[in-house]
Amino acid sequence: KAGVTQTPRYLIKTRGQQVTLSCSPISGHRSVSWYQQTPGQGLQFLFEYFSETQRNKGNFPGRFSGRQFSNSRSEMNVSTLELGDSALYLCASSLQGGSVYGYTFGSGTRLTVV
Protein backbone atom coordinates (compact mmCIF):
# COMPACT_ATOMS: atom_id res chain seq x y z
CA LYS A 1 0.00 0.00 0.00
CA ALA A 2 1.14 3.56 -0.64
CA GLY A 3 2.86 5.32 2.22
CA VAL A 4 2.37 8.81 3.52
CA THR A 5 2.92 11.33 0.74
CA GLN A 6 4.05 14.88 1.39
CA THR A 7 4.25 17.55 -1.26
CA PRO A 8 6.26 19.42 -2.21
CA ARG A 9 9.54 17.87 -1.10
CA TYR A 10 11.42 21.15 -1.17
CA LEU A 11 10.26 24.73 -0.97
CA ILE A 12 12.00 28.10 -0.86
CA LYS A 13 9.99 31.07 0.30
CA THR A 14 10.72 34.68 1.15
CA ARG A 15 10.22 36.11 4.61
CA GLY A 16 6.69 37.44 4.99
CA GLN A 17 5.16 35.08 2.47
CA GLN A 18 2.82 32.27 3.31
CA VAL A 19 3.10 28.60 2.45
CA THR A 20 0.83 25.57 2.26
CA LEU A 21 2.12 22.04 2.68
CA SER A 22 0.16 18.94 1.81
CA CYS A 23 0.02 15.48 3.34
CA SER A 24 -1.82 12.44 2.02
CA PRO A 25 -2.07 9.73 4.68
CA ILE A 26 -2.08 6.01 4.19
CA SER A 27 -5.41 4.90 2.81
CA GLY A 28 -7.82 4.28 5.66
CA HIS A 29 -5.85 6.29 8.19
CA ARG A 30 -7.94 8.98 9.80
CA SER A 31 -5.38 10.67 12.00
CA VAL A 32 -2.76 13.05 10.63
CA SER A 33 -0.19 14.78 12.81
CA TRP A 34 2.31 17.45 11.83
CA TYR A 35 5.79 17.92 13.25
CA GLN A 36 8.56 20.43 12.77
CA GLN A 37 12.11 19.14 12.82
CA THR A 38 14.99 21.53 13.39
CA PRO A 39 18.58 20.79 14.41
CA GLY A 40 18.81 20.61 18.17
CA GLN A 41 15.06 20.80 18.71
CA GLY A 42 14.21 17.41 17.35
CA LEU A 43 10.62 16.77 16.42
CA GLN A 44 8.20 19.30 17.77
CA PHE A 45 4.51 18.59 17.64
CA LEU A 46 2.39 21.09 15.73
CA PHE A 47 -1.11 19.62 15.70
CA GLU A 48 -3.13 16.52 15.06
CA TYR A 49 -6.27 16.15 13.01
CA PHE A 50 -8.75 13.34 13.22
CA SER A 51 -11.88 13.13 11.08
CA GLU A 52 -11.50 16.75 9.95
CA THR A 53 -11.23 18.06 13.52
CA GLN A 54 -8.16 19.36 15.28
CA ARG A 55 -7.73 17.08 18.26
CA ASN A 56 -4.41 18.22 19.72
CA LYS A 57 -2.27 21.28 19.34
CA GLY A 58 1.35 21.99 20.24
CA ASN A 59 2.93 25.24 21.38
CA PHE A 60 3.27 27.03 18.08
CA PRO A 61 2.04 30.54 17.25
CA GLY A 62 -1.22 31.11 15.41
CA ARG A 63 0.70 31.64 12.17
CA PHE A 64 0.74 27.86 11.97
CA SER A 65 -2.59 26.38 11.04
CA GLY A 66 -3.93 23.28 9.43
CA ARG A 67 -6.97 21.50 8.23
CA GLN A 68 -8.08 18.05 7.22
CA PHE A 69 -10.40 17.16 4.40
CA SER A 70 -13.07 14.47 4.25
CA ASN A 71 -10.65 12.13 2.46
CA SER A 72 -8.23 12.55 5.42
CA ARG A 73 -5.72 14.54 3.38
CA SER A 74 -4.32 17.36 5.42
CA GLU A 75 -2.77 20.71 4.71
CA MET A 76 -0.61 22.87 6.89
CA ASN A 77 -0.36 26.60 6.37
CA VAL A 78 2.23 28.99 7.70
CA SER A 79 1.55 32.67 7.24
CA THR A 80 3.97 35.59 7.51
CA LEU A 81 7.00 33.35 7.24
CA GLU A 82 10.00 34.03 9.43
CA LEU A 83 13.58 32.89 8.92
CA GLY A 84 13.21 30.62 11.94
CA ASP A 85 10.45 28.69 10.20
CA SER A 86 13.07 27.04 8.01
CA ALA A 87 12.81 23.39 8.91
CA LEU A 88 11.77 19.94 7.81
CA TYR A 89 8.03 19.53 8.22
CA LEU A 90 6.89 15.97 8.71
CA CYS A 91 3.43 14.58 8.73
CA ALA A 92 2.47 11.24 10.17
CA SER A 93 -0.67 9.19 9.87
CA SER A 94 -2.25 6.46 11.88
CA LEU A 95 -5.50 4.57 11.85
CA GLN A 96 -7.00 6.32 14.82
CA GLY A 97 -4.17 8.12 16.52
CA GLY A 98 -2.41 6.63 19.49
CA SER A 99 -1.72 3.43 17.58
CA VAL A 100 0.42 0.96 19.48
CA TYR A 101 2.66 0.85 16.46
CA GLY A 102 3.00 4.58 16.45
CA TYR A 103 2.65 6.59 13.36
CA THR A 104 3.85 6.24 9.79
CA PHE A 105 5.77 9.27 8.65
CA GLY A 106 6.15 10.85 5.27
CA SER A 107 9.53 11.94 3.95
CA GLY A 108 8.83 15.54 4.81
CA THR A 109 8.84 18.93 3.15
CA ARG A 110 12.06 20.89 3.49
CA LEU A 111 11.09 24.56 3.82
CA THR A 112 13.74 27.22 3.47
CA VAL A 113 12.83 30.81 4.26
CA VAL A 114 15.19 33.43 2.86
Partner 1 sequence: DQQVKQNSPSLSVQEGRISILNCDYTNSMFDYFLWYKKYPAEGPTFLISISSIKDKNEDGRFTVFLNKSAKHLSLHIVPSQPGDSAVYFCAAQNNNDMRFGAGTRLTVKP
Q: By the criterion CB under 8 A, which residues form the site for partner 1?
A: 4, 31, 33, 35, 40-45, 48, 50, 55-56, 59, 90, 92, 97-98, 100-108
Residue nearer to partner 1 on the CB measure, 14 or 59: 59
Residue nearer to partner 1 on the CB measure, 20 or 54: 54
In the complex, least distance from residue 89 CB atom to partner 1, rounded to whole angstroms: 11
Calculate ∠ Cα 101-22-90, nearest 5°.
Answer: 45
In the complex, least distance from residue 106 CB atom to partner 1, rounded to whole angstroms: 5
In the complex, least distance from residue 15 CB atom to partner 1, rounded to whole angstroms: 25
In the complex, least distance from residue 2 CB atom to partner 1, rounded to whole angstroms: 14
DSSP letters for the chain = ----EEE-SEEEE-TT--EEEEEEPPTT--EEEEEEEETTTEEEEEEEEETTEEEEE-S--TTEEEEE-TTS-EEEEE-S--GGG-EEEEEEEESSSS-TT--EE---EEEEE-
Residue nearer to partner 1 on the CB measure, 10 or 14: 10
